[in-house]
């Protein structure tokens, strides 16, 4: 991070602007908005600056810049069109350890003015650290359209009730949950429609008769890895949680999006290597919820597809714990799209079966006869270790040795690899390319479409990735 975003309170603090033209004027206006005490130094001033001085909003010093002008200032701006003067301002400020900004000269900016979405007191600042101001402006425009104009009023209302809420709820977590309920309630729509009295009344009622703070578990599917595949609901719940219980399969980029101060608990889970027993994870979820916590149980892919979401939710239901389930994009869907392999295709596959290569120890054998039928696609989860067995069984039950296969490792992530081959080569390809978990096996005629469709798929749908998907023959 090149610049640390901080919001400074400039109320009556002295700041200096060197320059008397339009650029200086704009900087003065920004400072005046923050109620700073503005001094402007220049041999001449534009009309607007002179008018502002006449209204006693700022002080004009009609002099050539001299190093003593920076003394005692909090912030300094050089806004002249003379490089030598700007350099002198920069040097003088730096000599005094004062933050300085030389307009349009990013290397000489110790601080910068970000693009702002203003819903006072809510202020959103966007900066590209001088690298792409147009991009920053476009982001601001997007935010302008999605942050409602009543947001500022809502924040002011919350501010008015802050002390009362603090007195009513002693712990930070209880206060946070109270505010979450408020912002989910019709207090918001009342503010939006201008019924501020109604909003105040409702808030007072919620405060005087608060319902018992109730824990809840959100069982959230995080998708296969690309954070842009998260659903909006998943993101919202990840940001509300007090505790986040996660598996290895959830990518780091996704974990970066959970609430900053949430407690994080890793419960592991890799094939054959469960760092926390499933029963203990179930009990942990129940215990956190019974303590009144909002728990986000986040899982790779979809929680109900080989995710043990079903087992966890059964236990929550048995203990009367409230829960929500948020579907995620399952690995088969993500790997299919990001490798250009449609799972069904009118010419090649009329059915798709999701299969696990990793059964419970006492699990039954799969229906190999059914799985070996042609004109269908198999998406095999957790199939890497058992690939020799899967290959042998399918061949034994009549699937053609030349049936196309694809192995998608780290699907949808920047490190995605796609290995192509035939069924008779499945285990060999896995060994040869040292395929690591997570990887999905796609078995069926559609796998051959990878060569035809992969690049189309990448340019259309993986645009957020810096590098193209690696393909291995």
Question: Is 411 an interacting residue with respect to ligand SAM (CB under 6 A)?
Answer: yes
Least distance in angstroms from the C-beta of 422 to ligand SAM: 20
Task: Give the annotated binding-site residues for NAD(+).
Answer: 22-23, 43-44
Q: Binders of ligand SAM among 133-152, rule CB under 6 A?
A: none
DSSP result, 214-251 = --EEEEEE-BSS-GGGS-HHHHHHHHH-SEEEE-TTS-
Task: Tell me if residue 287 falls in helix, strand or coil.
Answer: helix
Question: Is 335 an interacting residue with respect to ligand SAM (CB under 6 A)?
Answer: yes
Question: Is 331 an interacting residue with respect to ligand SAM (CB under 6 A)?
Answer: yes
The residue of the chain with the least Cβ separation from ligand SAM equals 301
Task: Give the annotated binding-site residues.
Answer: 22-23, 43-44, 224, 300-302, 305, 330-331, 382, 411
Q: Binders of ligand SAM among 350-389, rule CB under 6 A?
A: 381-382
- CB 175 within 8 Å of CB 217: no
Provide the β-strand partners of residue 118.
123
Least distance in angstroms from the C-beta of 336 to ligand SAM: 10
Write down the catalytic residue from 247, 294, 386, 429: 247
Question: Is 462 an interacting residue with respect to ligand SAM (CB under 6 A)?
Answer: no
For residue 247, indicate whether it is catalytic: yes
**How many CA atoms are closer than 13 Å to the CA of 179, on its beta-carbon side?**
19
Nearest-Å Rg of the Cα atoms of the chain is 30
Question: Is 408 an interacting residue with respect to ligand SAM (CB under 6 A)?
Answer: yes
Nearer to ligand SAM, 96 or 414 (CB): 414
Q: Which of 20, 307, 404, 444 is the binder for ligand SAM (CB under 6 A)?
A: 307
For residue 226, indicate whether it is catalytic: no
Least distance in angstroms from the C-beta of 232 to ligand SAM: 19
13 vs 17: CA distance, rounded Å: 13
| Assigned token pair, 83 | 């490089």
Tell me which residue of 449, 462, 349, 445 sits closest to 400, measured CA to CA.
445
Write down the catalytic residue from 27, 153, 190, 269: 269
Backbone angles phi, psi at 287, to 5 degrees: -60, -45
Question: Is 437 an interacting residue with respect to ligand SAM (CB under 6 A)?
Answer: yes
Strand ordering across the sheet containing 99-102: 59-61, 37-41, 14-18, 75-78, 99-102
Going along 304-375, which residue ranges are E strands?
A: 323-326, 351-356
Q: Which of 31, 65, 246, 306 is the binder for ligand SAM (CB under 6 A)?
A: 306
Q: Which residues are identified as catalytic?
A: 247, 269
Applying CB under 6 A, the residues found at the interface with ligand SAM are 224-225, 249, 299-302, 305-307, 330-331, 335, 381-382, 408, 410-413, 437-440
């Amino acid at each position: 991070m090149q610049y640390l975003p901080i919001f400074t309170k400039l109320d009556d603090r002295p700041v200096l602007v060197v320059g008397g033209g339009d650029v200086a004027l704009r900087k003065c206006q920004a400072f005046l908005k923050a109620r700073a005490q503005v001094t402007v130094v220049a041999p001449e001033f534009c009309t607007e600056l002179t008018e502002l001085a006449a209204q006693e909003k700022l002080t004009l010093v009609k002099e050539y810049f001299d190093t003593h002008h920076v003394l005692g200032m909090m912030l300094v701006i050089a806004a002249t069109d003379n490089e030598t003067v700007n350099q002198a301002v920069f040097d003088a400020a730096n000599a005094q350890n004062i933050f300085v900004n030389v307009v349009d000269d990013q290397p000489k900016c110790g601080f910068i003015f970000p693009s702002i979405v203003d819903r006072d007191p809510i202020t959103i600042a966007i900066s590209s650290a001088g690298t792409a101001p147009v991009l920053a402006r476009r982001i601001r425009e997007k935010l302008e359209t999605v942050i409602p104009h009543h947001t500022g009023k809502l924040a002011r209302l919350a501010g008015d009730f802050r002390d009362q809420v603090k007195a009513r709820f002693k712990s930070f977590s209880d206060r946070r949950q109270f505010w979450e309920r408020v912002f989910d309630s019709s207090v918001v729509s009342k503010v939006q429609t201008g019924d501020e009295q109604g909003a105040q009344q409702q808030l007072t009622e919620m405060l005087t008769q608060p319902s018992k703070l109730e824990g809840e578990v959100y069982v959230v599917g995080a998708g296969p890895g690309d954070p842009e595949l998260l659903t909006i609901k998943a993101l919202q719940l990840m940001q509300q949680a007090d505790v986040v219980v996660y598996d290895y399969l959830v990518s780091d980029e996704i974990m970066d999006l959970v609430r900053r101060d949430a407690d994080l608990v890793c419960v592991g889970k890799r094939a054959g290597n469960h760092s926390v027993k499933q029963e203990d994870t179930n009990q942990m979820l129940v215990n956190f919820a019974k303590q009144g916590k909002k728990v986000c149980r986040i899982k790779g892919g979809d929680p109900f597809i080989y995710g043990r979401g079903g087992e966890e939710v059964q236990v929550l239901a048995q203990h009367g714990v409230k829960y929500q389930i948020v579907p995620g994009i399952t690995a088969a869907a993500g790997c299919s799209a990001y490798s250009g392999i449609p799972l069904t295709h009118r010419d090649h596959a009329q059915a798709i079966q999701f299969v696990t290569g990793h059964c419970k120890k006492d699990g039954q054998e799969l229906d190999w006869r059914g799985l070996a039928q042609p004109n269908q696609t198999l998406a095999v989860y957790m199939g890497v270790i058992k690939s020799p067995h899967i290959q042998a069984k399918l061949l034994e039950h009549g699937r053609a040795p030349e049936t196309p296969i694809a192995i998608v490792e780290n699907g949808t992530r920047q490190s995605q690899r796609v290995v192509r081959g035939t069924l008779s080569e499945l285990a060999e390809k896995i060994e040869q390319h040292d395929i690591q978990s997570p990887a999905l096996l796609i078995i069926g005629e559609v796998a051959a479409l990878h060569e035809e469709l992969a690049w189309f798929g990448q340019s259309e749908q993986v645009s957020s990735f810096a590098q193209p998907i690696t393909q291995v023959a």
